[in-house]
Amino acid sequence: MFRRIFTPKKTINFLSHSKVAAVFSTLLLIVSLAVWFVKKDDKYGIDYKGGYEIIVKFNGDDVNGQDIRNSLSKIGFDEAIVQAFNNSNEFVLRLSDREKNTEVLKSSLRDTFNENIFKGDKKKDDFEILKIDYVGPTAGEELRTQALIAIIISVIGILIYISVRFEFAFALGAIVALFHDIIIGLGIYLMLGETISVTTLAAALTLLGYSVNDTIVIFDRIREKLITAKSYVLENVINEALTEMLSRTIITSILTLFSAVALLIFGGGEIRDLSLFLVVGIVIGCYSTVFIASPVALWWADRKK
């Protein structure tokens, strides 16, 4: 039923809008890169610029991550990451390296927890700090390098796979679309006031896989039509394939978007960060499959005709 709703009766000339899409994407890329360079090191979270990792165990049953996050913001740790650990009473806290003295930090944590969490009849000091580890800026820089290497290896692997399965024109279109998605996705993510962490890297790699899968499905249909056609105009074949797969693209994207939005609304902490990036990435990825990957493939094929 849904396929009938989203399947047009006539072929849509998507590629006729490729110039407008190119201008729009270029503006988004410029803004995203500007945000990236303006924020400098402020764009990185604790994972990539160093800080404290603390494990805290609460004896009460009614303590949640948001209560802890609010308490930490009262003493200047607005970017604190709070994650449930092992069970509901233990939490991992990731704090910036603003405070270098471990004992002073412990004292500050005790004061803010007692003042903001253990109010009224609640027993003071009803928690214990199990462990404090410090990650220096050097370790954070190493993590950033490893993250960059992971993305580069992923992109190279995708490039080789698509070149072997299809041809280089399609591989080029897919890679341009992937870079487009990652750069714009990160730009919008940073503009929303978020910081880049290990969770962001996981979301970026997930988005790479999701976006390239959607693109390959379109390219597969184009290849099928090229194999069966006795004569063809490549632009018309691409428009036909995009139109035929439009219902599949819309339905898949909407259903995936529903899941990501649900996690964004009801999830907390790092789950929220992951889902926020996915929401942004799914929308951008759906757009780039139609208006970036296919036009780039057509442009390269015409250039090498």
- Number of domains comprising the chain: 2
257 and 297 in a single domain? The answer is: yes
CATH of the domain at 252: 1.20.1640.10
Q: Are 72 and 82 in contact (CB under 8 A)?
A: yes
Confidence at residue 27, expressed as pLDDT on a 0 to 100 scale: 93
Q: Which of 82, 92, 94 is nearest to 57 (CA)?
A: 92
CB 73 within 8 A of CB 98: no
Q: Does 106 lie in the same domain as 167?
A: no
The DSSP letter of residue 291 is I
In the prediction, which pLDDT does 2 show?
45
The amino acid at residue 33 is L
Domain range for 95 is 51-135
> Which alpha helices (H) appear in the chain, and where do they start and end?
2-6, 18-39, 46-49, 65-73, 102-116, 137-165, 168-191, 198-228, 234-244, 246-266, 270-288, 294-303
Q: Helices 270-288 & 246-266, crossing angle to 10 degrees?
A: 160
| Of 200, 186, 218, the residue nearest 275 (C-alpha) | 200
The Cα–Cα gap between 200 and 89 comes to: 26
pLDDT of residue 100: 60
pLDDT of residue 207: 78
Q: What pLDDT sits at residue 257?
A: 84
Residue 23: what pLDDT? 92
How confident is the prediction along the chain (305 residues), in pLDDT tens digits per residue? 445 555 666 788 888 888 898 899 999 999 999 988 888 777 777 667 777 778 888 776 667 777 788 888 887 777 777 777 655 677 878 777 665 677 777 888 888 887 777 765 556 667 788 878 776 666 667 777 777 787 788 778 877 887 787 778 888 888 888 888 888 888 888 888 777 777 777 777 777 777 788 788 888 888 888 888 777 788 888 888 888 887 777 788 888 888 888 887 876 666 777 788 888 888 888 888 888 888 888 888 877 76
Residues 128 and 196 in one domain: no
Determine the pLDDT at residue 211.
Answer: 78
68 shares a domain with 212? no
**Are both 55 and 38 inside the same structural domain?**
no
The answer, as to whether pTM is greater than 0.75, is: no
Among 135, 162, 178, the domain-final residue is 135
Residue 108 has φ and ψ, to the nearest 5°, of -65, -40
Structure tokens at 152: 């580069």
Please indicate, yes or no, whether residues 240 and 294 belong to a single structural domain of this protein: yes
Longest dimension (CA), the chain: 82
Distance CA 139, CA 182 (A): 24
